[in-house]
Amino acid sequence: MAAEDPPTLEGLEVRTYFVRERNALVARAEFGELYVDYYLHQGQYGYNHAPQHDGLLKEALAALTLHCASRPWNEAWAWTIHFHRPLINLFVTGDNRRGIIVGQIFTENVKDDGRNLFCADLVRERDASRRSTIEFVGNEPFSIVEEFYSQSEQRPARYFRNGPEDFVMVSAQPGCDLAWFHDLDDEQVRRLDDTETLSLLEQRSYRWGCGCSQERMFSILGPMMRTDPEALFGGEVLLRISCPCCGALHTITRESLEAYVAETS
């Protein structure tokens, strides 16, 4: 039985449903709007990723968003996916409290560990952070996250494609009908509204966003400016810094950083 359609939210809308009698959670969204913001961000700062890397990051962004939407409101997650071949790092992060998703690709100065590693960092309000690390095979982010669920989350989750930018995550809950769960395929997931009874749990809205700013860069560079300004600037009058989370370029002048240090000392 199809679930009743609720009002549409602004931004990327993710809806989660409980599948009655199957004890499974469904999170689904169409990611076109998030991807448009991602490309506009690249255009604003004048960079672009190689097509093969770009596809990996987009899939990782979708996987993280659906994961975040199925988790409590007080959580923020950061995933680093290190590929041994090709030697790159994907970094994606999402914050449920602020409703933001962002990511970046690193192809230079990546340490070669000789293996593929997936690192998941979880931060909860008023709680210690937690890190889980697994090794994986393959190069598809959806499959990698499924392996993370299997090894670290102690419950299975699966990802499906309803369309080129329309994705679904199904995660098992206590008492899940695992035979039904493991038998699911893309076509069955497309027909869930017709074949299963879905109860809407939540609607959440996410947007591409980082929160980086010149002030944030000041706080990062300030300690080094206080101890060794010459090493920091190397005789130059300005620095150009790329945000490690989103790739935004920030120009920091020596004069402005000196003023910041003077004001905060």
The model's pLDDT over 139-184, given as tens digits with 9 standing for 90+, comes to 999 999 999 999 999 889 999 999 999 999 999 999 999 999 999 9
199 plus 105 within the same structural domain? yes
Task: Determine, yes or no, domain membership for 7.
Answer: no
CATH for 72 = 3.55.30.10
28-39: pLDDT as tens digits: 999 999 999 999
CATH for 245 = 3.90.1280.10
168 plus 250 within the same structural domain? no
Task: Determine, yes or no, domain membership for 5.
Answer: no
- Predicted confidence at residue 193, as pLDDT, reads 96
- Predicted confidence at residue 59, as pLDDT, reads 98
pLDDT above 90 coverage of the chain, percent = 64
211-245: pLDDT as tens digits: 767 777 778 788 888 888 888 888 787 777 777 77
Q: Quote the Cα angle for 239-242-246, to 5°.
A: 155
Nearby residues of 108 by Cβ (< 8 Å), 6 or more positions away: none
82 plus 172 within the same structural domain? yes
List the one residue out of 99, 23, 37, 34 whose CA is nearest residue 68.
99
171 plus 221 within the same structural domain? no
Q: Which residue has the higher pLDDT, 24 or 241?
A: 24
* Number of structural domains in the chain: 2
Judge whether 156 and 171 are in contact, CB under 8 Å. Answer: yes
- Predicted confidence at residue 10, as pLDDT, reads 67
Q: How many CA atoms lie within 13 A of 63 on its CB side?
A: 28
pTM of the predicted protein model:
0.85
Task: Determine, yes or no, domain membership for 2.
Answer: no
Task: Determine, yes or no, domain membership for 115.
Answer: yes
The answer, yes or no, to whether residue 5 has pLDDT greater than 60, is no
156 plus 92 within the same structural domain? yes
Q: How many CA atoms lie within 13 A of 105 on its CB side?
A: 22
Mean pLDDT of 80-107: 94
The domain in which residue 78 lies consists of 12-208
